[in-house]
Structure 1
């Protein structure tokens, strides 16, 4: 699954913008008499322009979008061979517009304005297949626990797909629509270029030490499992003094686990044979736990206390701390663990945005906190939906409001296609696309329309016109 030979010739397109350069035609201007304080006077030749009405402007925007947007033929993942996962390139012809956009990028972010949309899981799976088969992207990084994803990847060959999903990613993506991605990843491990899974979140997702044969001490394993429960429990607490008393012992457990990793590297590698970086990743996950105990849980408790009084400033601090930690982990993965690999990032629009802090009261996001040099090597695609149904993180259904007239969704829906992609990054401001460059209403998060300078947040947007909630796998944790 290397870069195809016919794709190499397209590298020459990289410096070409996607917009066509329109040559202006000469317009004959008239000499306009102007009344001045000193009587009639003639001014230099000029063109008189009449301001458009809003409806005329919106019509211009919709016509321009219809002329410049790209339609995806399907969002269904492609069928793959049962011997390494290869897929015929003719299956992806509608996605070849991405080649000049992504061929020089190391990181491609795939967002979503809700975690509960079936079509987002499907289209992202197909996009990942394409980038893996055609553009040489071999790593998928989920907005899920760094340690959890490492353990899921570590046993991916012999573990049933639903169990890999439950071990590695948050429950919001335990869906029938996301399952093909994990089946495809598993199949690619028979090839020379497997698609590997990683994570970058710091939240306690599930215990890292269940079935951990690499820990020889039963006593230490029991203490580790207990510590995992306590770290999660304290995050929900309002007892700051109680937590501060418990912190030293919790930190001590994870420091002992760090020592155990060093002493039992071979056993850890044998326990998780499908993750070649398991030692490095486990150490990072344990260091993250210590940071969570030292800093994040303090912010969570403080936020819980303030929220009780109607003050949400603590939540903002907590959210930004998490995004800073995720940015740190993702940058580390890109530079230290996979320095030669291209990486696809799967996360919420609110985490991948390049400029979330432009929105009033919103904290800085992971995307804008990434090192500048990595931002320059990235392409950020926000995913949005039109109408239909989505789901809360609790799996409860949400009936979507009608599309707001004049919103970004309204402009792209007018293209008349079910799946519409628009590049923003390589556009020049011209009559018909000024909506990309000025404040425009868009549902940045589900049911939360906000005024956004879209081009500041995303390099491209993909609209799914009609959405439905996912079909969830059983939650065995209940």
Structure 2
């Protein structure tokens, strides 16, 4: 069982977490930081979304943060960005806009909790000049064909000749009929791939970038990002087939590259909020991921921005979660059992069966705090009866995060009851259960 001294220290240091006012100590800890990473221990827990929403609203309204970037695909999230900024009217309301998330697991962003955030962003942005409107973007790398389509449609409007060259380059993927696994396996079996084509397409777009940017900087930025996604998605899917740490690192390095681009896009004083799973935002060097040669955006952000980064992890002891029992399975509410004995969740629960905020500065001096204890991680695929054999990441908590928001009994979020589009791709490094 957990060390009593550690449990006592958590009990003494824990702060209440009941309403927005209880976030004051966290906002004070964030101070003038420019990058705030907000985690989650699952992709289907209501409280993780609602508390991240509350934190984000305060950061935007009180500290002038410029955008939220999430663990979602760029093209789908960009429709939310357009809606939040009141540009192009991609839908009548946020619920309609979020139907853009049509691939399994749809519930990650197509849920009532995100509807509320998107509507708040739109109202907050109303009346603000375009340059000061708060954005919503996707950091992920899965949208190979969707991003190719965005690039070619953009070029058809601004440079038909370049659009034709882009179509020829991207035509390398045509034999695979938008099946990324078929493409990836083909590159494993035969020494040929489309790497040169996607690199060339991005280079061609960037070569004419100064002209395109003058005519429409936001549209060009979107097109360039989609060309970058296509390039890195091609690398990711090839690496995924080969296994090991490479595909994970391609994905998180892409996320960090996208975050850097967004920071530059929003100006020299830009401030970013990142929403991703704990496995991405919690510093990999404080887990067994480092031993496997894996990096993540939490580590990369700390290395790039130093003291301007604050990382807050999330956790819960028991409750329910939206997930599927296998990839592509119907989503439903799944019970989450009480956490494994001697895990960080067990320590937090034994300190008190209440929701709490734990600031981790100086916590490394507490006896037992530097032990590697299991820290629950639930992905989009979850079988609660198997949790004893997985779903826990060995973690040195005070080195992985700057703060922990703990929910003693959590609840499943509210999906927008959408039928997902059948999809054969099963991304190896999607957190299906850690």
The answer, yes or no, to whether TM exceeds 0.5 is: yes
CA distance in 2, matches of 1:263, 1:386: 54
Q: Does 1:322 align with 2:255?
A: no
1:197 CA displacement: 1.0
Indicate whether 1:439 and 2:372 are aligned: yes
Match of 2:10 among 52, 65, 79: 65
C-alpha deviation, 1:125, in angstroms: 0.9
Q: Which residue of 1 aligns with 2:269?
A: 340
Paired with 1:327 and 1:145, the residues of 2 have a C-alpha distance of 14
Q: Any idea what the Cα deviations from partners look like across 1:301-351, whole Å, max 9, x if unmatched?
A: 3x2xxxxxxxxxx14221122112212222232245443121110001111
CA distance in 1, matches of 2:404, 2:77: 27
Structure 1 residues 348-359: aligned runs within 5 Å: 348-356=277-285, 358-359=287-288
Greater C-alpha radius of gyration: 1
Query: Higher helix fraction: Structure 1 or Structure 2?
Result: 2
Structure having greater relative contact order (Cα 8 Å, sep ≥ 6)? 2
**Alignment TM-score, normalising by the size of structure 1:** 0.70
Alignment partners' CA distance in 1, 2:402 and 2:396:
11
Structure 2 residue aligned with 1:290: 231
- 1:239 and 2:186 aligned: yes
Partner of residue 178 from structure 1, selected from 83, 100, 114: 114
Aligned length: 384
Contact 1:440–1:452 (8 Å) recurs in 2? yes
Paired with 2:193 and 2:293, the residues of 1 have a C-alpha distance of: 32
Kindly state the Cα deviation for residue 104 of structure 1 after the two structures are TM-superposed.
2.1
Q: Distance in 1 between matches of 2:191 and 2:322?
A: 34
Candidates 363, 375, 381, aligned match of 2:306:
375
CA deviations on 1:386-443 (whole Å, 9 max, x unpaired) are 11221336524433232223322122223445421101134461xxx32332222321
CA contact (8 A) 1:154 1:278 kept: no
Task: Return the alpha-carbon distance in structure 1 between the equivalents of residues 153 and 354 of structure 2.
Answer: 46
- Tell me, what secondary structure is at the counterpart of 1:370? helix
TM-score normalised by the chain length of structure 2: 0.76
Q: What is aligned with 1:450?
A: 393
> Structure 1, residues 350-400: CA drift from partner, whole Å, max 9, x if none?
111213574053622122123624132111111111112213365244332
Pairing of 1:215-226 with structure 2 (within 5 A)? 215-216=156-157, 217=160, 220=164
Q: Is it true that 1:103 corresponds to 2:31 in the alignment?
A: yes
For 2:58 and 2:393, the matched residues in 1 are separated by 32
Pair 1:116–1:362, CA change in 2 (3 A): farther
Q: Secondary structure at the match of 2:40?
A: coil
Unmatched segments (≥5 aa) in structure 1: 1-53, 75-91, 270-275, 304-313
Specify which of 144, 153, 157 is matched with residue 81 of structure 2. Answer: 153
Alignment equivalent of 1:136, drawn from 64, 78, 81: 64
- 8 Å CA contact 2:143, 2:229 repeated in 1: no
CA distance in 1, matches of 2:145, 2:95: 15
Give the secondary-structure state (helix, strand or coil) at the position aligned to 1:177. Answer: helix
Partner residue of 2:321? 390
Unaligned stretches of 5+ residues in structure 2 = 380-386, 422-434
